[in-house]
C-alpha cells in the first residue's frame, strides 16, 4: 500500500481574493495531509491552458472560460501527500458544482455558485479549489506547477504516529 500518494491542489482566484486560503489549507492539514510544496503564483494563460488540457474532454468554450478565470488573479498551488490523498482531498472539497456540494465540504460551506449561473454570465464556475482527479492527472498536473526540486521530502511527527508506531503493542 502506498502511504504517500500525492495530489495537486490549486486554491483558485476566488479563494485567494476572498481570503479563504488559511481556512482551506487548515482543513487539509486537520485531516492529516502533509504539504510537500506550496507557492503563490500568478498563472499565465498558457500555464492555465496547459493545466486544463490534461483533460482532453473539455469543450473549447469551457476551456477558454477556465483559462481566463485561472489567470485572472494569484492562485495558491500546493502538493499534498498522504494515504489516499486524492480521494480524501476530493471528498473534502465537495462536488465540482458548488450548488451540489454537501454542507461541511469546502465548496458546500463557502460558495453558492452553479453551472447555470456561470453559463448565464458566460464564465467559469467559481468553485474555489482544483484537485487532481486521479494519480495520472496528479503526476501530470504537478509538473505544470512545480519543478521536481520544489517538492520537499520529510517525515512529520503525525506520520510517525499514523504509520510507524505500533500503538497496539503494550509496553514491557
CATH code of the domain containing 43: 3.30.70.141
Q: Stretch 91-110: mean pLDDT, rounded?
A: 95
Mean pLDDT along residues 82-95 = 97
pLDDT exceeds cutoff 80 at 172 = no
User: Is the pLDDT assigned to residue 171 strictly greater than 60?
Assistant: no
Q: Tell me whether residue 119 is in a domain.
A: no
Q: What is the pLDDT of residues 105-160, one digit of tens each?
A: 999 999 999 999 999 999 999 999 999 999 999 999 999 999 999 999 998 888 77
Is 104 within a domain? no
Q: Is residue 103 part of a domain?
A: no
Mean pLDDT of 84-106: 96
Domain count, the chain: 1
Distances (CA, A) of 130 to 1, 2, 62, 142, 169: 26, 23, 15, 12, 41
Output the pLDDT for position 54: 86
Q: Any catalytic annotation for residue 130?
A: yes
Span 24-71, pLDDT tens digits: 999 999 999 999 999 999 999 999 999 998 888 888 999 999 999 999
Of 75 and 3, the one with more pLDDT: 75
Q: Which domain holds residue 134?
A: 5-61+71-93+128-152
The whole-number pLDDT of residue 24 equals 98
Residue 129 is predicted with a pLDDT of 98
Residue 6 in grid coordinates: 500525492
**Side-chain half-sphere exposure of 169, counting CA atoms within 13 A:** 5
Catalytic residue of the set 27, 90, 107, 130: 130
Does this model's pTM top 0.95? My answer is no
Residue 107 domain-assigned?
no
For residues 127 and 113, give the distance between their C-alpha atoms in angstroms, rounded to a whole number.
7
In a domain, residue 27? The reply is yes
Domain annotation covers residue 111 = no
Q: What is the pLDDT of residue 103?
A: 95
Amino acid at each position: 500500500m502506498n502511504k504517500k500518494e500525492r495530489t495537486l491542489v490549486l486554491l483558485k482566484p476566488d479563494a485567494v481574493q476572498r481570503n479563504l486560503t488559511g481556512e482551506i489549507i487548515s482543513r487539509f492539514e486537520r485531516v492529516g495531509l502533509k504539504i510537500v510544496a506550496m507557492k503563490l503564483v500568478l498563472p499565465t494563460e498558457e500555464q492555465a491552458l496547459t493545466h486544463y488540457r490534461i483533460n482532453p474532454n473539455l469543450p473549447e468554450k469551457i476551456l477558454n472560460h477556465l483559462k481566463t478565470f485561472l489567470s485572472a488573479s494569484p492562485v495558491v498551488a500546493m502538493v499534498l501527500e498522504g494515504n489516499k490523498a486524492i480521494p480524501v482531498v476530493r471528498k473534502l472539497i465537495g462536488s465540482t458544482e458548488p450548488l451540489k456540494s454537501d454542507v461541511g465540504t469546502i465548496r458546500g460551506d463557502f460558495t453558492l455558485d452553479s453551472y447555470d449561473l456561470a453559463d448565464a454570465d458566460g464564465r467559469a464556475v467559481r468553485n474555489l479549489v482544483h484537485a487532481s482527479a486521479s494519480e495520472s492527472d496528479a503526476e501530470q498536473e504537478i509538473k505544470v506547477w512545480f519543478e521536481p526540486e520544489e517538492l520537499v521530502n520529510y517525515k512529520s511527527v503525525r506520520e510517525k504516529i499514523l504509520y510507524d508506531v505500533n500503538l497496539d503493542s503494550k509496553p514491557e
